Amino acid sequence: MTNPVNHQPPPGDSPETAPAETAPAGTALLTDRYELTMLQAALRSGAASRQGVFEVFARHLPHGRRYGVVAGTGRLLDAVERFRFGPADLEFLDRAGIVDAPTLAFLESYRFGGSIWGYPEGDCYFPGSPILVVEGTFAEAVLLETVALSILNHDCAIASAASRMVTAAGDRPLIEMGSRRTHEFAAVASARAAYIAGFASTSNLRAACEYGVPSAGTSAHAFTLVHDSERDAFAAQLDALGTGTTLLVDTYDVPRAVRTAVEMAGPGLGAVRIDSGDLPVLARQVRALLDELGAVSTRIVLTGDLDEYSIAALGAVPVDGYGVGTSLVTGSGAPTAALVYKLVARSSGAAGAGELRPVAKRSVGKPGRGGRKWAVRHLDVHGTALSERVSLSPPETGPRDRELLVPLVVGGEVVGREAASAARARHRQALAELPPYALQLSRGYPAIPTVFEPNGEEL
């Protein structure tokens, strides 16, 4: 027996052909080749066993933005736990001649056994903020560079853009609906990052399943077009989903569709969605028409190539929510957070012997600051952030200082995992802590300076 819709055997008909459940795939090959070639050379020189400290930070914020949002930490912790070289990975590396036999032997038993500190998800960051600190041997810590940057650069960029959109929307909820505009797995990560930054829901069901992000969605234009008339399409949707559903009214003629929708659903119709046309003009016309027809509680949702600027421009228009896709999943013009992963300290002797000493490159345009960092956010008497203070020793905090780095991994064991909802709540608190001008959409400077102590240099 086959399913008449997709011509596939229904679930359970052929259990012997159903794919078996498998453990999540390893993450070790989500890396650049030079991580492994560095490892091979370091194993030969003896430097592989030196203790080291790597830090993730941004030299600048993109496009004159005033703050960044930390996101992706939870996904990174999952990736670190699964960073294993399995038999197939090792066979590939051997067959391709990428590393030698001693390096393969090292990779076969690789497990990250160091410690990681970081800014918790949802917090804000600024240029120079050490949002992740990785301590371990050079060998075990250097291998995490690519996967850490892949996750954090993407998720921080999406969350930073999403936060600005949420600010622009005010009290109106936002739906993340960009899955079809990006890679299928980037879509899931984008939905999670947007939720942390304040989006109300997502169209992506994998994000709802894996991370508990509320899901939303009703129908597209294709649903209207497959029926003989708009009236037939509305009738089918109302029969299946109830009068609280959202009807798409811009397939043909918007005013006629609105009249048909209210006629069929009554004044209790949940919402109408407008996806094209002159949105401010149409929204005002539709609101007036809904009120005239007695559907005063029916909401209006706008979608269609929105970003933070167009959302802000719609602030005076009588609508109730927005759906955002392309601009969200591409970081609204800043698809990467420009984060880097740099060695800032190492031991001087073999096998980790000797004190950690600062190291930094002196490249023109890309200078570094050596030494393991600690960071606090200094607040005024009203609880408003004044500066990000970064030091080379554990800070002596005062009553108006908030320590920013928290333990995420200790001795190879994850200790900092939390739900996306906790990061979402933290982001609300972090935004409330920033000075009001931090929320402006115009190009500007970071909302607070990053001060490097003890010399007081500002970035």
Note the pLDDT tens digit of each residue in 76-110: 999 999 999 999 999 999 999 999 999 999 999 99
Q: Tell whether the model's pLDDT for residue 277 goes beyond 50.
A: yes
Q: Tell whether the model's pLDDT for residue 127 goes beyond 90.
A: yes
In angstroms, rounded to a whole number, what is the distance separating the alpha carbons of residues 217 and 321? 13
* pLDDT given at position 190: 98
Q: Tell whether the model's pLDDT for residue 455 goes beyond 90.
A: no
Of the ranges 3-12, 149-158, 248-257, which one carries the lowest mean pLDDT score?
A: 3-12
Q: Tell whether the model's pLDDT for residue 17 goes beyond 60.
A: no
Q: Tell whether the model's pLDDT for residue 308 goes beyond 70.
A: yes
Q: Tell whether the model's pLDDT for residue 404 goes beyond 60.
A: yes
Q: Tell whether the model's pLDDT for residue 215 goes beyond 50.
A: yes
- pTM here is 0.92
Q: What is the pLDDT of residues 371-401, one digit of tens each?
A: 999 999 999 999 999 999 999 999 989 999 9
Mean pLDDT of the chain: 93
**278-315 residues labelled b (16+ CB within 10 A) or e (exposed):** ebbebbbebbebbeebebeebbbbbbbebbbebbeebe
Which phi and psi angles does 410 have, rounded to 5°? Answer: -125, 120
Q: Summarize the confidence of residues 426-450 as an average pLDDT.
A: 97
What is the separation of C-alpha 28 from the centre of its chain, rounded to a whole number of angstroms? 21
Of the ranges 124-133, 311-320, 348-357, 431-440, which one carries the lowest mean pLDDT score?
A: 348-357
Closest CA to 150 of 196, 123, 189, 121: 189
Q: Summarize the confidence of residues 315-339 as an average pLDDT.
A: 97
Of residues 355 and 61, more confidence is placed in 61
Give 63's pLDDT tier (boundaries 50, 70, 90). Answer: confident
* pLDDT given at position 8: 39
Q: What is the pLDDT of residues 362-372, one digit of tens each?
A: 776 666 789 99
